[in-house]
Amino acid sequence: MTDISQIGISTEEIINYLKSEMSLREVCQKILYQRIINKVAQERGIIVTTEEIEIEADRQRREQRLEKAVDTLTWLAKQLVSPYDWEIGIRNQLLAPKLAQILFAKEVEKFFNQNRQEFEQIVLYQIIVTCEKLAQELYYQIEEGEISFYEAAHIYDIDEHRRQKCGYEGKIYRWAIQANMVEIVLGTPPKHIIGPLKSEQGYHILMVEEVIAAELTPQRYEEIINNMFQKWLASEVENLLNSYEIYIDTF
Alpha carbon distances (Å) from 107 to 114, 224, 230, 236 = 11, 10, 14, 18
Q: Are residues 120 and 207 in the same domain?
A: yes
Residue 44 lies in a domain: yes
136 and 172 both lie in a single domain: yes
Domain presence at residue 4: no
Amino acid at position 95, single letter = L
Q: Is residue 47 part of a domain?
A: yes
More confident residue, 245 or 112: 112
Please give the Cα distance from 142 to 152 (Å, whole number): 8
| Cut 0.85: pTM above it | no
Residues 6+ apart with CB under 8 A from 236: 36
Nearest residue to 37 via CA among 86, 87, 105, 93: 93
In this structure, what CATH number is given to the domain that contains residue 192? 3.10.50.40
Is residue 194 a part of any domain in this protein? yes
Note the maximum CA span of the chain: 75
State which residues form the domain around 83. 11-105
Share of the chain above pLDDT 70, in %: 94
* Mean pLDDT lowest among 1-5, 40-44, 182-186, 239-243: 1-5
pLDDT in tens, 220-231: 999 999 999 999
Q: Is residue 245 part of a domain?
A: no
Looking at the structure, do residues 140 and 207 belong to the same domain, yes or no?
yes
**Last residue in a domain, options 84, 105, 126:** 105
Give the total number of structural domains in the chain: 2
94 and 121 part of one domain: no
What's the mean pLDDT when you consider all of the chain?
Answer: 91
Residue 94 and residue 130 share a domain: no
User: Do residues 18 and 97 both lie within one domain?
Assistant: yes
Q: Is it the case that residue 65 has pLDDT exceeding 50? A: yes
Residues 42 and 74 in one domain: yes
Residue at 208 is within a domain: yes
| 203 lies in some domain | yes
pLDDT in tens, 147-177: 999 999 999 999 999 999 999 999 998 888 8
Claim to verify: residue 119 and residue 59 sit in the same structural domain:
no
The pLDDT confidence band at residue 5, using thresholds 50, 70 and 90, is low
pLDDT of residue 245: 55
- Is 238's pLDDT higher than 50? yes
- Predicted confidence (pLDDT) per residue in 98-145, tens digit: 999 999 999 999 999 999 988 889 999 999 999 999 999 999 999 999
